[in-house]
Chains A and B, each alone.
Chain A
Amino acid sequence: MKMKKFKNLSGNLITYAMVVVAFLLCELALSGMIDGFKMSRSLKGQLVPICVYIVMAVSLNLTVGISGELSLGHAGFMSLGAFSGILFSQWLLSAFPQTDLALVRLVGALITGGIVAAIAGVLIGIPVLRLRGDYLAIVTLAFGEIIRNLLNCVYFSLEGASVHFSFLDPNLPGTVVINGPMGAIGVKKLASFEAGFLLVLFTLVVVLNLINSRSGRAIMAIRDNRIAAESVGIHVTKYRMLAFVISAALAGMAGALYGLNYSTVQAAKFKFDTSILVLVFVVLGGIGNIRGSIIAATVLTVLPEMLRDFGTYRMLIYAIVLIVVMLATNSPMLRSTLDGLAGKLKNAKEGDKA
């Protein structure tokens, strides 16, 4: 047992170290202190989206990998977070135009986005998490579509400290912030790579600590055998709800950061495809494997941009890469080769010691 705990801890430390080292390398490249080690504009522009997708993938992995439920509407939570975060940030700007509250607005937007998405998570979770089977997948799928269609009809405008809201009627007094199908417009950008990095770290702390806690073990016990878990007195709905709501809240925070990275965001961005994209990150990185999610989200976000030189064949190559990775990681031959290599290394090490 102690051995296992130690293994978990060192595994987590590797994950944290990996993220921190990657961050420091990026900062070094951004500062341009070393000649020849510079970042292209293209990559620079993707830093914040990469952070967002890492948070999305890690949080979805909590639902899919740790809790064992299939969720197909993760982009729905992201959109709620994006729009509520933008609204909060713009409201603060409009209510207190004189004071410089950039940091408060950013943090406030992230928290607002998280809370709003968490409330939506609770509302969906109450009826659905009591059910068995694939119902969560179906309902989250519908939820994502409903949210997207609703956001297409919502109008918000700001006039000083007061907020005006209407459904389907675009004629509002004051400055329009959320403009139906045109989405959020005139957003003052606040997101930065540093903020994204801190959000990734926060997500990792929350998710990894949850996994290694009493609650996390309960969640995994329910995933592995619901009846056995129930028989030892674990409150099934409560723990499933816990995982689901935390996952939703983190997605909401990621959404808020995403929304504040662009001057405009449309609800159409958060369609079914985006949910599936995040699910692909999780599956490719390994279900239940947090470090894998981080790597997959990063690589698969950067890859389509790296392939731009291939012109028209870009998405074709992207698809082929996906298939090849999927086949390669599941091939028993490759696995045994890797295991063999690891074994040899271990033997060599032990040989050294002796």
Chain B
Amino acid sequence: MKKILAIALALAMMMTASFAMAEEAIKIGVIGPMTGPYAVYGLAVQYGAQIAAEEINAQGGIQLEILAADDQGDGELGVNAYNDLLDDGANIMLATVTSGSCLAVSDVAYEERVFMLTPSGSADAITVGKDNIYRVCFKDSAQGLASAQYIADHKLATKIGVIYNNALDYSIGIYNSFKTKAAELGLEIVAEAAFSDDTNADFSVQISKMQEAGAELVFLPIYYTPASLILSQSASAGYSPIFFGVDGMDGILTLEGFDKTLAEGVMLLTPFSADAEDELTRNFVATYQAKYGEIPNQFAADAYDGVYALKAAIELAGITADTAPEDACDPMIAAMQQIEVAGLTGTMRWDATGEVDKTPTAVVIKDGVYVGAK
């Protein structure tokens, strides 16, 4: 027991020593699920933010340090992680990754006047009425609206089926705004079928419902794991409509054991595609792959852009490592509304509501890669 204690103490000291080295850096707290079922998203955000911070540090000038804390996607642990990061001296938060945890943490951050930029918390309520909470990704309702608009503008289909997860606020949020907008635009939703996290293995009921109603396009406002099952089970049922996804679908091509040919022709609305030809994306993907051995997804890109946005705002607001989180808040709010950042997910500007203004791009999967859809 004494030995274990000694080792533990030694480890703890090593860690404090490594923290102490970079004293001048402004500390950015990243909170996300780094363990548990949503770990893919949390780790992607951590890695993306890390790469951005290293690039910025290499340029000289402002030095940033990323402090990451695990919340397992849970509100209670999110608030714990938030408190812990402030104990460790975080100045600004790039948090949190999942919507549920983000709602709980953003309320505490609003009360305590700590500036927070969420890379990927997409629930509408996160920024409502909270002037110091900003967002890099699109909010849920914006994605639903944009999807319906895109489908109508490009006359992809008139008979639409929807399969959504009725136990996931992300999915329901997108679906509800999609439904409202679709009705406005004269798109007919002929079938809708729900599933939940407990019943996400067999989709034959939902698929046959779509098939019977004659849906020409199936809208999937869900994450990529169930989406991959829907694709493969539709294929074996001999049903091949246009599948249309949102940003949660991003990642389907890197899913292990998934036959990419099944995703042929799938369209999705996402602000980032790892196959884009611009230099910024190419460099980012190359660095990410070299460092972490994976192709970055949209979450990593959001975090990368988030760190650059914070850097621009920090420069404008004149924040230093000594600025207390409460004092950094108001200058950061003012600065965020003035900056314009050209990032991986497009050129971003922010308004006083905290919502980002950037263009969603639609991509279609051809031969196992994303191709910009026209």
Which residues of A approach B to under 8 Å, CB–CB? 40-42, 44-46, 49, 145, 149, 152-153, 168, 170, 179-183, 185-186, 262-266, 268-269, 305, 308-312, 314-315, 317
Contacts and interface: CB of A to CB of B under 8 A. Distances in A.
Contacts of A179: 169
A296 to B, nearest CB: 18
A45 B81 CA distance: 10
Nearest to A321: B4
A152 B125 contact: no
Given A180-B169, A262-B107, A264-B104, 5 more contacts: A149-B198, A182-B169, A185-B103, A262-B75, A308-B81
17 contacts: A40-B87, A46-B80, A49-B76, A149-B167, A152-B166, A179-B169, A182-B100, A182-B123, A182-B169, A185-B103, A263-B104, A264-B104, A268-B100, A308-B69, A310-B15, A311-B15, A312-B34
Among A145, A170, A308, A314, chain B packs the most CB atoms within 10 A around the CB of A308
B168 interface: yes
Nearest to B123: A182
B296 to A, nearest CB: 20
B32 to A, nearest CB: 13
List the 10 closest pairs (A to B, CB-CB), nearest first: A263-B107, A182-B169, A45-B83, A41-B83, A264-B103, A42-B84, A42-B83, A152-B167, A181-B169, A181-B167
B182 interface: no
B333 interface: no
Interface residues of B, number: 36
A316 to B, nearest CB: 10
A317 to B, nearest CB: 8
B142 interface: no
A312 to B, nearest CB: 7
Given A170-B172, A180-B169, A263-B104, A315 B35 contact: yes
A49 B125 CA distance: 24
A305 B84 contact: yes
Contacts of B108: 263
A314 B70 contact: yes
A112 B240 CA distance: 52
Nearest to B173: A182
B74 A269 contact: yes
Contacts of B198: 145, 149
Contacts of A182: 100, 103, 123, 125, 169, 172-173
Contacts of B213: none
Contact of B100 (A170, A264, A314, A317): A264
Interface string B3-22: 00000100110011000000
Contacts of A186: 125
Nearest to A320: B4
A40 B169 CA distance: 33
Nearest to B175: A170
A152 B70 CA distance: 25
B97 interface: no
Contacts of A264: 75, 100, 103-104, 107
B347 interface: no
B176 interface: yes
A185 B15 CA distance: 38
Q: Which one of A145, A170, A266, A317 has the greatest number of beta carbons of chain B within 10 Å?
A: A266
A266 B75 CA distance: 8
Interface in B63-111: 69-70, 74-76, 79-84, 86-87, 100, 103-104, 107-108
Contact of B84 (A49, A152, A308, A310): A308
Nearest to B108: A263
A309 B107 CA distance: 25
- Chain A facing B: main interface SS: helix
Nearest to A265: B75
Most buried by B among A44, A263, A317: A263
A181 B79 contact: no
A46 B87 CA distance: 13
B196 interface: yes
Nearest to A151: B167
B151 to A, nearest CB: 22
Contact of A185 (B34, B79, B86, B125): B125
A312 B81 CA distance: 14
Contacts of A40: 83, 87
A323 B216 CA distance: 55
Contacts of A269: 74-76
A168 to B, nearest CB: 8
B168 A45 contact: no
A257 to B, nearest CB: 13
Contacts of B172: 170, 180-182
B176 A170 contact: yes
B86 A41 contact: yes
B19 to A, nearest CB: 9
Contacts of B86: 41
Contacts of A168: 166
A181 B74 contact: no
A262 B70 CA distance: 18
A310 B9 CA distance: 11
Contact of B76 (A41, A44, A262): A262
A314 B8 CA distance: 12
B147 to A, nearest CB: 18
B50 to A, nearest CB: 13
A309 B83 contact: no
A223 to B, nearest CB: 33
A268 to B, nearest CB: 7
Contacts of B87: 40-42
Contacts of B167: 149, 152, 181, 268
A48 to B, nearest CB: 10
Contacts of B12: 309-310
A317 B108 CA distance: 29
Contacts of B103: 182, 185, 263-264
Nearest to A171: B176
Contacts of A45: 79-80, 82-83
